[in-house]
Amino acid sequence: MATLEEIAGLLGRNDRLMGIDLGTKTIGLALSDVERRLATPLETIRRLKYTADVGKMLDLADRHGVAAFVIGLPLNMDGSEGPRAQSTRAFVRQTSGLARRPFVFWDERLSTAAVTRELIAQDVSRAKRAEVVDRMAAAYILQGALDRLARLG
């Protein structure tokens, strides 16, 4: 576990960040560019078994030179943590030993709603929205962290 400020000093020149939108049925993934300016949707993993799901995520992280993970923390609107936030924290605790990279929590309130609104505004069909919303939410989460990193710079 780390803060964004802590990992800012640890990142190498071409290190990337991976954004994670952890859902009960899917894991949306996004990837930063090597300059850490732009987040791009990467993949949606359909959750089946923890070991296989995390293995796929870590394989993608290895292939893309990911130095740290930015995972959305689903806080309640009043800022408190409910069952979903506790589940996300448990996932990070369980995965951090396998990942060999730090995790940073990022407030994800309304990320899926914002992405869904944008897709509707672009007249994307319901079926296509369901297919891309998780990885786009991961990109939305990651972009917020990248924007904050740029301000720290």
Angstrom distance (rounded) from CA 22 to CA 112: 11
**11's tokens:** 């990142």
CA angle 66, 23, 59 (to 5 degrees): 30
Which tens digits make up the pLDDT trace of 44-76? 999 999 999 999 999 999 999 999 999 999 988
Q: What is the H or E stretch that residue 107 is in?
A: strand 103-107
Which tens digits make up the pLDDT trace of 101-125? 999 999 987 777 777 788 788 887 8
Task: List the alpha helices (DSSP H) in the chain.
Answer: 4-8, 50-63, 83-99, 111-121, 126-152
